[in-house]
Amino acid sequence: MLPLAFFIITLLFLYCTFKPFVEVATGAWSVFASDNGSDDTEIYNDIFTDSALLGYDGTVNASDITYPSYGTIYGKLEIFTNNTVYSMPLIFGDNNACLKKGAGHYSGSHFPGEGTTILVSGHNTNYFNCLKHTKVGEFIEISTNYGKYKYEIIDVSPKFKNDKSAFDLNANTETLVLYTCYPFDVVGYKIDRYYVTATLVSGPMIDPYN
């Protein structure tokens, strides 16, 4: 029994000693690795065109909307902060391939105009590094082929990555939640996320019954 116990203790010691280095290496790889494998499908069938988008008001029928498939660019996200407009593609999906080409819309959340929560993520090493500048009272816009949406930032804060209070996917008001890894400008494994929460100011609502 003693050799087995010694072996287990040795393994635990090695795990605790080298775990931080492994996490940093894997975190860096997740940012810089090239797209491949089933989790890195190519972006395809982009459906967003600036010329087709509608205005900020009115109602749009769900039957008139072309909803995106996973990996499709379906809109443009613009963050107005620090006297600068940060513009990026908005992609339906948030795997590695999506996040390297724009902001990734979590497929389990909702679309602009549906009246509830839209959850969007991005890497803090590229598109969402600008979130560190955001302030309450600033604005975010989402342009789609069926309408243009404006949101006002009401909260910016870091939270633990498993904090369930960060957003509510079943909220009865339209809320846009952007998030990225925190702290900023640090490559490697991070246990916190930086959340920017904004509420709808204007934009056409989707009528699900037509």
Whether residue 66 is found in the same domain as residue 41: yes
Query: Alpha-carbon dihedral of residues 196, 149, 45, 28, nearest 10 degrees?
Result: -10
Q: Are 116 and 110 in contact (CB under 8 A)?
A: yes
Whether residue 132 is found in the same domain as residue 85: yes
Whether residue 144 is found in the same domain as residue 199: yes
pLDDT digits over 42-96, tens only?
445 689 987 655 677 789 999 999 999 999 999 999 999 999 999 999 999 999 9
The residue range of the domain holding 200 is 36-207
Band (pLDDT 50/70/90 cuts) for residue 188 is: confident
User: For the chain, what is the domain count?
Assistant: 2
Q: Are 155 and 136 in contact (CB under 8 A)?
A: yes
pTM, two decimals, is 0.78
* Residue 155 C-beta-side C-alpha neighbours within 13 Å: 14
Q: Mean of the pLDDT values across residues 102-108?
A: 97
Whether residue 100 is found in the same domain as residue 75: yes
Whether residue 75 is found in the same domain as residue 158: yes
Q: Give residues with Cβ within 8 angstroms of 34, minimum separation 6.
A: none
User: How many helices (H) and strands (E) are present in the chain, helices listed first?
Assistant: 2, 10
Whether residue 152 is found in the same domain as residue 67: yes
Whether residue 21 is found in the same domain as residue 83: no
Whether residue 65 is found in the same domain as residue 162: yes
**What's the rounded Cα separation, in Å, for the pair 128 and 178?**
9
Task: Provide the mean pLDDT of the chain.
Answer: 83
Length of the chain (residues): 210
Whether residue 46 is found in the same domain as residue 25: no
Q: Give residues with Cβ within 8 angstroms of 133, minimum separation 6.
A: 81, 82, 84
Q: Give residues with Cβ within 8 angstroms of 124, minimum separation 6.
A: 131, 132, 180, 181, 182, 184, 185, 194
Whether residue 45 is found in the same domain as residue 142: yes
Band (pLDDT 50/70/90 cuts) for residue 37 is: very low
67: its two tokens: 């909803």
Whether residue 59 is found in the same domain as residue 144: yes
Whether residue 82 is found in the same domain as residue 124: yes
